[in-house]
Structure 1
Amino acid sequence: MLDYLIKNAMVVDGTGKAAYQAHVGVKGDRIAAIIADETLPEAKKVIEAEGQLLTPGFIDVHSHADVSLPVYPGGDNSIMQGVTTFVGGNCGMGVAPAYNEEFSRFYVLGQLQMKGYLNICWKSFGEWLDYVRSFPIGPNYAPLVGHNAIRGSVMGLDYNRVATDEELEKINSLLKEALDAGAFGMSYSSDPGFAGHCADLRELKILFKLLEERGSYVTAHTRHHQNQWPSDDGRHYYGVYVGEPGDVLCGRYHGLLEFMELFKETPKLTACYSHLTNAFLAPMPHSQAMENAMLDETMCMFVDEPAAKGYKIYFNVLPHQNSLSGIRKVVYDLSLSLAYDKEFKNYTEADILVNSLKDQSFREKLKVYIKSGKFKMNMISPATDPYWADCFTFFTAKDESLLNKTLMDVTKERTDGPTAEMVYTNCLDVLFDLIVEDPDLEWALTCDKREYMATDRLLSNRRGMPMTDSPSFPEKSDKWLSPMDYGNPPLSYTAMIRYLVDVCREGKVISTEEAIRRITTQAAEMVGIAERGYIGEGMKADLVLMDWEKLNYVIDFNNPSTPPTGIRYVFVNGNVALEEGRLTHVLSGEVLTKQSIQKVYD
């Protein structure tokens, strides 16, 4: 007897082939039967699914759920949007290995904002996986090892330099140890502020070679991915890099080029650009046609041309221009970068900063600092993007006339002058006034120019996949509930639904079958996840049943956990994790490890 029989579903099997009607049986943790017109077997529960789509469970190829999984093991935000497997440890940000206690406290508890949430009780990567296996989890976890943790385990807090020969040998050994423990591959980040920033090409080439030899996978948060400014004192931190001044303009292009040149030296290695963005920066307002031309050139140069030559190259994309932004207090965003400056580090407390902004001389000094390039506001450096004030929208304010307006909207209402004056001077004056008037004023980054105007075009490419880039969160979440300390993003609950609705159903950029293929079979093959991502007899029963026409989402920064609609059932390893749109809180996820994988379809 089957445990479940899903009757009359339109099966989108994950291969990209046309949907077909069938009955699908689940027994234990497997898909036991796919039946067309035969007599139906008995089942403990029958689910009528006529007119609804049955797909493989979605695979989130770029997640940070592993970091907060010990805090929120249910992964409710993943299950709510149909994600049954997440790939954790991206952007070089895994929490293991943890051999250097001083570095691990600084990195995991400090930089990853897990102080008070995590007790680091592991050293090796294998011990970390055993720790996660010690408690039940909602979705399946496919682990990557993060380069930051490897480098910090060897070099400690002295990571702001090139590794020695002896250290390189140890770094390579720790990567091997993680792969032996079951890691699917390695992620790394070359952006400033983390241990990977100063890794040279020699180090990366050694690691890429080992990954290629092991038939593994690498994904890169490429250098200069975000807006930033060159260091003038050798220090690097969020928004300030060590490198050539010209990379303020050309850095994103050079970062993508660096990764491409690396994976071309290891042609058997599967490689993925993390959150691919336009290689060509144009911060000023411009047409969609101009943006599309730059995006097409980016994909042609960095994806299509190497793929045509046989390189196994993919990319992932955040599927909405709001990116991973959550609501934040404006004074918090203003104060964050002040901590890195000798003069301004004493003004990071909100009360002190608000009172200081009443002083005109302090305002003028702060303007100079903001324009110096060493200051970064959320994901944007005002020195590299003069139109940054268009990107932030107010959502909580004493003055309700501010709601749903950008800072630039308010600047134009309150001041006069030519555009350049508005952009460079007036917006800062207005920002300071608003903080003094309402210290509790809140906004969100609603236009992240990494995705703005780019999502549909990038996801038209068959090698592109959506992702959440998000931690694990509970079903009902206050807007401030975030272990990673940047507010709780609505995207954490809606990313896959936004992709299916905006890019596929409404945008008609790709077909339904192709949209599902990207987040199931293609994702599984890219990472090397066996037995998942495809509806076939004998495969693991990770399944999503949805009402395609009712599929939708809500963007509400004040209520970020507003659930999407249209997802009816989610199965994880044959167990119902979501039933009739409601979480069951049955935690049946598994820690997956690297196995050999073969195509299971023609």
Structure 2
Amino acid sequence: MRVALTGGLIVDGTGADLVPGTVLVEGERITAVLPPGEPVVEADVIDATGNIVAPGFVDLHSHADFSLGASPAAESQLAQGVTTLVAGNCGWSPFPITDLETLRAGTAFLGPKHDWTWNDLAGFAATLRPAVNLALQVGHCTLRIAAMGSARRAPSPTELRTMQDLLRAAADQGAVGFSTGLIYAPGAYAASEEVAALVATAAECGLLYSTHIRNEGAGLLTALDEAIAAARAGGARLEISHLKAVGKANYGLVDAALEHLDQVDDVDLGWDAYPYTATSTTLTTRLPTWALAGGELLDRLADPAERGRIADALRADVLLSPDSVVIASLPPGRYEDSRGLSVTEIAQRDGVDAAEIVLRILESHQAAVSVVNHAMSEDDVTTVLAHPRTAVASDGWIMDATGPGHPHPRNFGTFPRVLGHYARDRGILTLPEAIRRMTSLPATRLGLTDRGHIKPGAIADLVVLDPHTITDNSTYDDPWQLSTGVTHVLVAGQPTLANAAPTDARPGRMV
């Protein structure tokens, strides 16, 4: 198949200025970048007049491994121009599996629609036929569950070796990274020494180390140091996931964090961010981690004494912020009509305090509750996005155009929001620089040399977009709205979005 994208301005992904020209594709690769007016024969023409032709966007931080199997068309991603998703983040991956019941409970907040018929990366990958590419990381929480369940203790030498062996096996099957989520049980139970040992194993295998660090509030700098020390000791490449400062008392701390990171010159270090002032995670992150030990939260909530201890801990925790925590999704049950409401609003409706309503919601919905937490400063978001080493990433997992719940708008609008709101409207970034943060920068972090650029020989993952109209339409109040302004997407040379409509092509692959 021969395709010519003609008439547009080419943004090659390096940050260089826009240039007119034609991108010629044969099969799955770019074969030439031609000057304007040079004739092209025997090719299917995509008219990009008035538009930008750019490399397909690489999302360094997604949780698509829990959704892409059930939603292979990836409509929400194609509408944004995303062609490659990096999954297995925040310590969670759907493999390896030795204790399926515990893994399913731990990842229930992501709403996976899996049949769970595999036990390793290769088995999982064999089930996928997506419209976009997927790069897989191995999650520390998942490794811990496979080796020692949800135990709140250090691993034995044998258990640590089991985690390392499972990590090596996944690397042999094509994993690109190892991730931690050090606010999530059971990963939160790991001491720095355990993390460092696994990071060293990841480095031996040539994997990227991606981390949702242990503290994104007052302890931000200390948590960054823990990640840097582990990468330094093991010789690993390090990616700080969704860099931010959470909580009003910590607004402005990102300035010190960025200065701190810039001073590190002996670690291959990068970071990413999403362009929103709200996070999204599981409601169980509001609880003390001991309450989740052994996977026995629901049993503890059924015990009056233990329930009281958990409630007291919630009442003492300033990070609960009930006005700011909004229910996003939850399985059927008593509070399923509370999607889109804050913890405060639900508590007032039930006539109880915030701590009690959190426990009621969790016990009524098998603790599988995701939330949107309005906890960040717009000034901080802008500061992080403006830094030249920040890659754009979504931290999303919704692939469909419509569905239940009240998900975070980052699932639908991350990349158009940067291009439209932050680049075009506010001038925080130039258009070529914004596209660099979505293409060559994340591709480089992954070690990909044939994606993220428009150049002869590169894989033809391409996007055509209108820089004047590209818009993120999803909002916190009305999230199920696709972005607009992307008209064509090619994955390995095959159209997966044509005239803003998805095709039936499924050319995505593991990268």
Q: TM-score, normalised by structure 1?
A: 0.72
Match of residue 532 from structure 1: 451
Match of residue 597 from structure 1: none
Match of residue 394 from structure 2: 468
Instruction: Give the SS at the match of 1:31.
Output: strand
After TM superposition, the structure 1 = structure 2 runs for residues 489-568 of structure 1, keeping only pairs within 5 Å, are: 489-557=408-476, 559-568=478-487
Match of residue 237 from structure 1: none
User: Residues 451, 178 of structure 1: CA spacing in aligned structure 2 closer, same or farther, 3 A cutoff?
Assistant: farther
* 1:389 counterpart (313, 323, 342): 323
Match of residue 454 from structure 1: 380
Counterparts of 2:35 and 2:410, CA distance in 1: 37
**What does the per-residue CA deviation read over 1:131-174, in whole Å, with 9 as the maximum and x for residues that have no partner?**
23xx421110011111222222222x253211111222222111
Counterparts of 1:450 and 1:218, CA distance in 2: 25
Counterparts of 1:539 and 1:528, CA distance in 2: 14
Amino acid at match of 1:86: L
Counterparts of 2:346 and 2:174, CA distance in 1: 53
Amino acid at match of 1:304: D
CA contact (8 A) 2:138 2:177 kept: yes
Counterparts of 1:37 and 1:428, CA distance in 2: 66
Instruction: Give the SS at the match of 2:214.
Output: coil
Counterparts of 1:582 and 1:115, CA distance in 2: 26
Aligned-residue identity in percent? 23
After TM superposition, the structure 1 = structure 2 runs for residues 105-504 of structure 1, keeping only pairs within 5 Å, are: 105-108=101-104, 111-113=107-109, 117-129=113-125, 131-132=126-127, 135-155=128-148, 157=149, 159-194=151-186, 196-225=187-216, 250-267=218-235, 269-278=236-245, 283=248, 291-292=251-252, 294-301=253-260, 303-306=261-264, 309-324=265-280, 340=297, 345=302, 372-374=312-314, 383-385=317-319, 388-389=322-323, 428=353, 448-450=374-376, 452-475=378-401, 477-480=402-405, 487-504=406-423
Counterparts of 1:453 and 1:171, CA distance in 2: 40
User: Residues 572, 276 of structure 1: CA spacing in aligned structure 2 closer, same or farther, 3 A cutoff?
Assistant: same
CA contact (8 A) 2:3 2:46 kept: yes
Amino acid at match of 2:428: V
User: Residues 390, 62 of structure 1: CA spacing in aligned structure 2 closer, same or farther, 3 A cutoff?
Assistant: closer
Alignment RMSD (CA, Å): 3.7
Q: 1:408: how far off?
A: 8.3
Counterparts of 2:6 and 2:462, CA distance in 1: 14
Match of residue 20 from structure 2: 21
Q: 1:517: how far off?
A: 0.8
Q: 1:96: how far off?
A: 0.8
Counterparts of 2:111 and 2:375, CA distance in 1: 31
Counterparts of 2:168 and 2:301, CA distance in 1: 44
Q: Structure 1: where are the runs of 5+ without partners?
A: 226-248, 285-289, 348-365, 376-381, 395-403, 415-425, 436-443, 481-486, 593-602
Counterparts of 2:393 and 2:220, CA distance in 1: 20
CA contact (8 A) 2:102 2:145 kept: no
Instruction: Give the SS at the match of 1:265.
Output: helix
Instruction: Give the SS at the match of 2:234.
Output: coil
Q: 1:207: how far off?
A: 2.0
Q: Structure 2: where are the runs of 5+ without partners?
A: 329-339, 361-369
CA contact (8 A) 2:280 2:373 kept: no
Counterparts of 1:525 and 1:254, CA distance in 2: 27
Instruction: Give the SS at the match of 1:97.
Output: coil
Counterparts of 1:344 and 1:164, CA distance in 2: 29
Instruction: Give the SS at the match of 1:271.
Output: strand
User: Residues 104, 452 of structure 1: CA spacing in aligned structure 2 closer, same or farther, 3 A cutoff?
Assistant: farther
Instruction: Give the SS at the match of 2:202.
Output: helix
Counterparts of 2:84 and 2:49, CA distance in 1: 26
Greater shift after overlay, 559-568 or 20-29? Answer: 559-568
Match of residue 337 from structure 2: none
User: Residues 28, 343 of structure 1: CA spacing in aligned structure 2 closer, same or farther, 3 A cutoff?
Assistant: closer
Work out which of the two has the higher radius of gyration on C-alpha atoms and give 1 or 2: 1
Match of residue 365 from structure 2: none
Amino acid at match of 1:179: A
**What does the per-residue CA deviation read over 1:3-46, in whole Å, with 9 as the maximum and x for residues that have no partner?**
22111211110011111111111221111221004631214422
Amino acid at match of 1:384: V
Instruction: Give the SS at the match of 2:141.
Output: helix
**What does the per-residue CA deviation read over 1:564-584, in whole Å, with 9 as the maximum and x for residues that have no partner?**
111111111111111111112
Match of residue 68 from structure 1: 67
Instruction: Give the SS at the match of 1:87.
Output: strand
**What does the per-residue CA deviation read over 1:227-276, in whole Å, with 9 as the maximum and x for residues that have no partner?**
xxxxxxxxxxxxxxxxxxxxxx7443332221122122234x21011111
Q: 1:489: how far off?
A: 2.7
Instruction: Give the SS at the match of 2:489.
Output: strand
Counterparts of 2:477 and 2:175, CA distance in 1: 37
CA contact (8 A) 1:92 1:188 kept: yes
Greater shift after overlay, 542-551 or 458-467? Answer: 458-467
- The total of aligned residue pairs comes to 483
User: Residues 342, 80 of structure 1: CA spacing in aligned structure 2 closer, same or farther, 3 A cutoff?
Assistant: same
